[in-house]
Chains A and B, each alone.
Chain A
Amino acid sequence: MPLERGTSMGLPCAAIIKIWSLSVDFIPCHKHQLIRKTVREFAENEIKPRVSELDREAEFPFDIIEKMKPLNYFGLQVPRELGGADLDTISYAIVVEEISRVSAAIGLCVTVHNSVGIYPIMKFGTQEQQQRFVPAMAAGESIGAFCLTEANAGSDAGGVETSAQKTGDEYVINGTKIFVTNGGVCGTILVFAVTEGERDLANVFIVEKERPGFSVGEIEDLCGMRANPVSSLFFEDCRVPVDNLLGKTGQGLKIGLNALDAGRIGIAAQALGIAQAAFEDSVSYARERQQFNKPLAKFQTIQNYLAEMATRIDASRLLLYRAAAVKDSGKSFSAEASMAKLHCSATAREVTDLAVQIHGGYGYSKEYDVERYFRDAKVTEIYEGTSEIQKMVIARHILNQPS
């Protein structure tokens, strides 16, 4: 039987889920369509009814997380033998985008867990470490967190003061990490620390929450992402066996940068989901809301806003999927990920800003979702590398090319 337009799967692509007024034909694969549809259905049925309340009460939804576990949301790219879904990176981005379209805070939990939680263990961990840590993480039984940021270190990873001294076959970790996403609920923590010696070496350790000396600080009272228990983590003479050192000694910076590259694709997807939600709400509000006896959508100013939002979102999505495709090809995707993250997060901020503007007074009210999008969007320009850091990464990539 003759098929219509051929694709990578040898499948026809007559039906592309409409994600706004234009079809995104960029993803020609039925698998990606089915993933989007599946995740959207879950998010709209299970998360959406609770999302305002979770934000208002700053509550982490354990019951929703419980429903996500058997559907592989916590092992997106983990190989099947370790209990994951073995997805490609575009699929991963779609999952994060669709969850974040409904709840950016739960999207954040998922992306941080999968990218900076699991990915470094899969990339740099020994087989023994993968067997030991990943199955529980992929099953969602142990939520992952990655902690680099400290009071005096963030963008500048060199300022890390948390120390890990080797004594016998153990490392003793001391220090305080702040603004740790998933901090309040994490089970497996990747800790960035410095081991002093002839030369100071940056290392990353895998710490289980049961280790004595580990404790969780208060949950931060943040502007957005309120359903995610972002917190400080304390390490006071916290001992871990040498087997918990990730990668080789001194590889910390490399692991950190690699983790952040992967993390940036996730944050870009999250920002895109927020922008998408703000845009969709704006379109329907512009159609409904009447002023001067006609719907807002009839005013050219509003049309210009909508056109601008749609174009920015579309451009962001293309950059994101490009970065994901490059990652899957096995090539270095650092600059692509930074570009995607830079552009998606700026888009999220700009689009949510316009969405509030279109909604007028109602947009500033908690009665509507757009004020939440507006609060949630801002931090996407800050974490997983600020926009300024993304530009440094991109510029370094440009200037390192032979002239």
Chain B
Amino acid sequence: MFKIIVCIKQVPMVSELPWDSKTGTLKRELAQGMMDPASRRALEAALQIKEDRDDTHITVISMGPAMAREILYEAKALGADTGVLLSDRRMAGADTFLTSFILAEYIKKECPDFDLLLCGSQTSDSETAQVGPQLAGELLIPAMGYVQSIELANGMVRVQRHVDDFMEVLEMDLPGLLTIDQAAFGPRYVALEGIERAFQTDDICVVNAEDLGLDKNFNALKDSPTRIIDVYSPATRKENLVLKGAVKKVVGQLFDDYGKIISGAMGKDLKTHEHEGAK
């Protein structure tokens, strides 16, 4: 049995973010939840391994409020086998350091015999990219970040990742942890049959601080060594720009001036005039 653990997080839906325009803060209580896009890629990586090897078992773990069950059901609908929610008022407000600690406590206690641990590279709501590597630190296992492809071999994994202008091929012994690059493992859509199946049994395992054996004085909000002082939307300035002239010239100018912004927004590497010219 090849045992994979995927850590996933529920984040506010970007398209529906309700910002308080007066204070510039996010009304989190009104935000709709969704599975963090990077977590979805990590899960996709696990699902692709499962497609290749029948004896794969996928456990998805999330830490968050009761509402985070939604994404565990979604993960099960996609093909995960077991869903675990670490949820307790005393875990709320954990920074990345304590989040990794709590996740590690659960893994050490309930599934210490895992082969591969997968995380997204960074969540869409805080983008720290810290939980994965810190979790490997807590579990004393090797880790590699921003992985774009995974190949399993006897007791180890061979991965590729993009570093500057190079592709790097690396090998790592298992058990180990990988974080999945935001450009790799494009996630699949959920099949409706999977949703019906996922909800047939109400078997998301919910674990609280006591179950984990955390100290009775443990309080993540107080004990977190790092604190967020403020989150706000920097005032944006809108400007209308009219490009005039021949279409070819105007489009060329648009790509020259804004190509990076456009490709950033689309999440795609656009070939600009310069690149094509260079080739």
Contacts and interface: CB of A to CB of B under 8 A. Distances in A.
Interface in A70-128: 70-73, 75-76, 80, 84-87, 91, 95
Contacts, number: 80
Contact of A31 (B16, B87, B196): B196
Nearest to B31: A15
B73 A34 contact: yes
B139 to A, nearest CB: 26
A72 B192 contact: yes
How many residues of B sit at the interface, in one of the four size bands? 20 to 34
Nearest to A80: B193
Nearest to B70: A30
Contacts of A391: none
B195 A38 contact: yes
Given A1-B87, A9-B202, A34-B73, A72 B34 contact: no
B32 interface: yes
Given A1-B206, A30-B199, A15 B33 contact: yes
Interface string B64-76: 0111011001100
Contacts of A253: none
Contacts of B34: 37
B26 to A, nearest CB: 15
A87 B196 contact: yes
A42 B190 CA distance: 9
A264 to B, nearest CB: 22
Given A1-B87, A17-B32, A31 B192 contact: no
B189 interface: yes
B32 A31 contact: no
A14 to B, nearest CB: 5
A35 interface: yes
Contacts of B195: 31, 34-35, 38, 85
Contact of A18 (B16, B199, B206): B16
Contacts of B88: 1
Given A17-B32, A34-B73, A87-B192, A12 B67 contact: yes
For the complex of A and B, 5 pairs with smallest distance between CB atoms? A85-B192, A85-B193, A72-B192, A31-B199, A38-B190
Interface of B: 16, 32-34, 65-67, 69-70, 73-74, 77, 87-88, 189-193, 195-197, 199, 202, 206, 208
